[in-house]
Structure 1
């Protein structure tokens, strides 16, 4: 297993995956898979042994799924390199069970909670939070925004790139690269933000650039210094992060009774249901109306222009 992992890291990982994926794969390998299985021959790795080991790990279910997925890839390439006989990938049979102690639902914010959190955030972090909660953008997509991505006349936002670990890269999935409808009031807020913070910005300028570096901010620093303290003060609990805003956007779409296909296209998940993806398409009018309803719901208790 160690030899397969070494070859995978040198020949495959640098070329086949996004920077963020490469960054997170290596800790899974070095911290979990290789310490336990590195000295095993491929023929000695048993499905039930892996399943029992994986389910004992004090990790959330999603993290265990990432480790299993990486294990599958190692076996896939071992078969491709003819190190084991071709056949069904044994790691596909490994089951991961729910662990209520480790798994918890992402905190969904109410409109009043979100308004109170915005009061605690200075610009530009406040506007970043607004885009996360009212458009469901991932933080990497927010940081990857340039001013020419906004179509002010068409009221659309093009999601073209992501900023991951300080480097420009692709968005998470093909489905993620798309256009989002801009609510008119949100467009007005963005133009006002531009006038106050970057009136001389070029079309190719970063929307959320650190003025000291001229490049987008690092999200981990903002989360540690601003988001988490705001969460502790408003919610009385620690752990508020960027994904809470996206999760709130998705939950608000459901709460407002949005058609499931419209939800899928606005959240830009790769799959909700294969049949829907293939045979239906949400009308743009529906998407615009749904996005506007979320903006109205989340920003109605106005936090002030601050």
Structure 2
């Protein structure tokens, strides 16, 4: 809690022994309670009129204390008032950035002493990925926007801070031969999970949140309505993420095969439900990657660091390599920054998207065995 927080104050009517009642505005100045008379009820007959009369007084009071407010106090206020409105994962990430990087540098400075050039220079000196530095810049910008909303500050110096999020190197992707080698080393359910990720481009939060009811085998579509992050079920990342995906015949066969032998195969069950939680929650993505997928990649002789987002990049690269146009690739990846034409006219699964996905399924044949739920494989 901030020691010099924004003063909404308290307006009340006070009786007097002689003369008309008066309106009094009570507020806190540092460690002291203060009060100031606004006028009598003769001049301000209603509370609404008294509230309007104290607006300027309230602004003056807050203006006097905000010049001495520190960035650390503002960060506390932002954490208390704004982060609870965000997803739990987002809140955890913001608090980590504040604790590990932002607070140690800026916590003790007054709001007016945080300058754009200084912040930009500081970001340039940190040995972190551009994307990470851009997120820290954006968090500081959000904190100052919060300050302006609460009238702690008149301007946002972070608006002038330049920080690119552009990657310094091209992300690694898997080749078709590497994918085949990886799938051959995987047991279920991770073999099917990786295959679905590679043929749909789903984010891991979307992949593990899938339920059987989301797969419409008749319409040949996968409908997306939720995401899961750290076992918290929430909304999709963007509105564009809600667009349905095509379900190629070959991919449908893989899912039907998995449904036939997985322990949780009812419509309301997660496709990749964790037996440790008796199917009530999906698997943890980190457990699958660290305990199963990366060890399988090592056994397959893959030297690249395999990760969930790498599978999504691989999907995008394969789609483009199979001749899909840019618009179709963007639509399949469901990025929010697609063109207006795509936003307005490509809302459902189109023939172009079906064809693009089908080409990927054809070049990535699914192994013919090892889809038992215990991960040890089977001879089917």
TM-score (norm: length of structure 1): 0.91
Residue correspondence of structure 1 range 121-140 to structure 2 within 5 A: 121-140=186-205
The answer to which of 68-77 and 221-230 deviates more is: 221-230
Structure 1 ranges of 4+ moved more than 6 A: none
Structure 1 position 173 matched with structure 2 position 238 = yes
Residue correspondence of structure 1 range 1-306 to structure 2 within 5 A: 1-15=71-85, 17-86=86-155, 89-96=156-163, 103-198=168-263, 201-213=265-277, 214=279, 215-237=281-303, 239-272=305-338, 274-278=339-343, 280-281=345-346, 284-297=350-363, 299-300=364-365, 302-306=366-370
Shift of 1:276: 4.1
Secondary structure (helix, strand or coil) at the match of 1:176 reads helix
Shift of 1:190: 0.4
CA contact (8 A) 2:220 2:247 kept: yes
Secondary structure (helix, strand or coil) at the match of 2:300 reads helix
Considering Cα pairs closer than 8 Å and 6+ residues apart, tell me whether 1 or 2 has the greater RCO.
Answer: 1
**2:149 & 2:194 partners in 1: Cα distance?**
44
CA contact (8 A) 1:228 1:238 kept: no
Unaligned ranges ≥5, structure 2: 1-70, 371-380
TM-score (norm: length of structure 2): 0.74
State which structure, 1 or 2, has the greater radius of gyration over its C-alpha atoms.
2
**2:345 & 2:336 partners in 1: Cα distance?**
14
CA contact (8 A) 2:134 2:164 kept: no
**1:145 & 1:233 partners in 2: Cα distance?**
29
**1:278 & 1:118 partners in 2: Cα distance?**
35
Q: Deviations over 1:37-83 (max 9, x none)?
A: 11111111111111111121111111111111111101111111111
Unaligned ranges ≥5, structure 1: none
CA contact (8 A) 2:131 2:165 kept: no
CA contact (8 A) 2:178 2:302 kept: no
Distance 1:180 1:99, change over 3 A: closer
Q: Deviations over 1:189-222 (max 9, x none)?
A: 1001110113x62210111111121221111111
Distance 1:99 1:192, change over 3 A: closer
Distance 1:74 1:281, change over 3 A: same
Give the CA RMSD over aligned residues.
2.0
Distance 1:287 1:237, change over 3 A: same
Q: Deviations over 1:98-126 (max 9, x none)?
A: 898xx433221111101111112110011
Shift of 1:238: 5.4
Query: Which has more helix, going by share of residues?
Result: 1
Counterpart in the other structure of 2:46: none
**1:5 & 1:277 partners in 2: Cα distance?**
39
CA contact (8 A) 1:19 1:169 kept: no
Shift of 1:237: 2.7
How many residue pairs are counted as aligned between the two chains? 297
The answer to which of 103-112 and 218-227 deviates more is: 103-112
